[in-house]
Structure 1
Amino acid sequence: MSTDNGGFTGSPPGPQQPHQPRWAWWVVGIVVPLVGILVTVLVSRPGSSDSKADTADKGVASVPAQSSAAPVGTEQSVGPEQSGGRSAAQHGESAEAAKAAFGPKVIEADTTNSGSYIEFDTSEPLVVTNSTLKGADLIVSASTGGAPDLFVPDSHMTLAPLAGSGAAPTAEECAASVERNGTYTLPATRGGRFCLTTTEGRTVSLEVVTAPSAGPAKLEVTVWA
């Protein structure tokens, strides 16, 4: 006689796996993307190590540009001052060179007979009434009669006329006049103005104040060294 087991055949069922609720999978599906986004934000924010490295690199690259620009700016600011300093010094030297060594001052020279010999290469003009003076630069004489004349010894072409009016000439103007119009003799008429280059290279400005045929003539003289 057999025993009826209710129609069940085979091995008994094993332990069953627990069933996961559906909402758990939804949570996992949401959390994983959020974590990925959070990591991306943290890595890319300005305070990250990569951003700091980039900033440091940029800072290092900017330093040479600032350093190289500084000397250029300094050189440009100093250059005009130096140039200006050199120009002032040259102007001072030019003014010093053009400073009169004598005069303007009136001197007297006798025109009688052979006249007077004048040396301008001394500290003050030296005037003598005979021909023993060596190195004289000019002779004032009325020996030919009438108004006196101006002569340059040995007929050197170092005497030049100037216009009878206008401002007193400068050393440069006088030297240029002798260079253009130099001669060795001119009439010493009253009010006449002349330029002369001496045997030692000085420049002289002359103006005839009085010019008698006999007696002392008066000459206003300026001598530049």
Structure 2
Amino acid sequence: MASQNPPPAGPPYAPPPYPPSQGPQQPRWAWWVVGIVIPVVGLLVTVLVSRPGSSDDKGAESAPTSTPARSSAPAESNGQEQPAPAPAKSAEAKKALYGPVVVDADMTNTGSYIDLDGSGPIVSGATNNGADIIFGASLGLFVPDSASNLAPLPDSGAAPTADECAAAVQETGSYTADPKPGGRFCLMTGKGRVAYLKVVTAPSTGTGKLDVTVWDTPGA
């Protein structure tokens, strides 16, 4: 009886070896993908670098810019210098109620009585209880009731302001003075007004002249 043994098995199957100079071949679609991706990446890099707000632009924007210095030269218009603005008036400056106005007085004997508390000077040849100053040859400049309301000023210089006159009366006030031509005086009236008197002429007889300015003060 013959034996039913199977034939001996051969060696296991192995794929043919690849040539030593090359590995497994890449599929063609992989090369298409690489060819597309590289240009796209390059385009994106270019756009990112050149867009506004990139790091280079931010660096340029953050750099401080120099401010041109202002010129101290006066502004010109049509080739002509503009006039400088007028200085603001001092709060102490007061507008005169009236004057300067020339007041005539009869210098003979006791002279004339002058009232400065009205809307203008009032000159009287007789005794006047409302007079603020007497101007005559025998009395000179005299304040009725001997009130210390008359103050001398230097013979030269600018005309005083109301405040300067008031201060002079407070500091050096007297009731009488010698009225020489060119003499200057400050006077406080019976109603608190301030007056500036400048002697124009002061003859021993005839007409004497005073240049008078009166300010209306808040206390008047």
TM range (shorter): 0.5 to 0.7
Aligned residues: 174
| SS of the residue 1:154 aligns to | helix
Deviation string 1:58-98 (CA, Å, 9 cap, x unpaired) is 8xxx9xxxxxxxxxxxxxxxxxxxxxxxxx89924748x43
Deviation string 1:39-66 (CA, Å, 9 cap, x unpaired) is xx77x94856xx99998xx8xxx9xxxx
* Corresponding residue for residue 11 of structure 1: 10
Q: 1:20 and 1:156, CA in 2 relative to 1: closer, same or farther beyond 3 A?
A: farther
* Corresponding residue for residue 164 of structure 2: 173
* 1:151 and 2:154 are equivalent in the alignment: no
Q: What is the TM-score normalised by the length of structure 2?
A: 0.58
* Corresponding residue for residue 155 of structure 2: 164
Q: 1:189 and 1:52, CA in 2 relative to 1: closer, same or farther beyond 3 A?
A: closer
* 1:201 and 2:192 are equivalent in the alignment: yes
CA contact (8 A) 1:103 1:223 kept: yes
More helix by share: 1
* 1:91 and 2:88 are equivalent in the alignment: yes
* Corresponding residue for residue 140 of structure 1: 135
Written as runs of structure 1 = structure 2, the 5 A alignment for 1:1-225 is: 10-11=9-10, 13-14=12-13, 16=15, 19=18, 22-24=21-23, 45=45, 47=47, 91-92=88-89, 94=91, 97-134=93-130, 136-142=131-137, 145=138, 148-225=139-216
Gaps of 5+ in 1: 1-7, 63-87
- Percent identity among equivalent residues? 46
Residues in 2 aligned to 1:166 and 1:93: alpha-carbon distance in whole angstroms: 20
Residues in 1 aligned to 2:193 and 2:152: alpha-carbon distance in whole angstroms: 17
Deviation string 1:193-213 (CA, Å, 9 cap, x unpaired) is 111122333222212222233
RMSD: 4.3
Q: What is the TM-score normalised by the length of structure 1?
A: 0.57
Residues in 2 aligned to 1:176 and 1:194: alpha-carbon distance in whole angstroms: 12
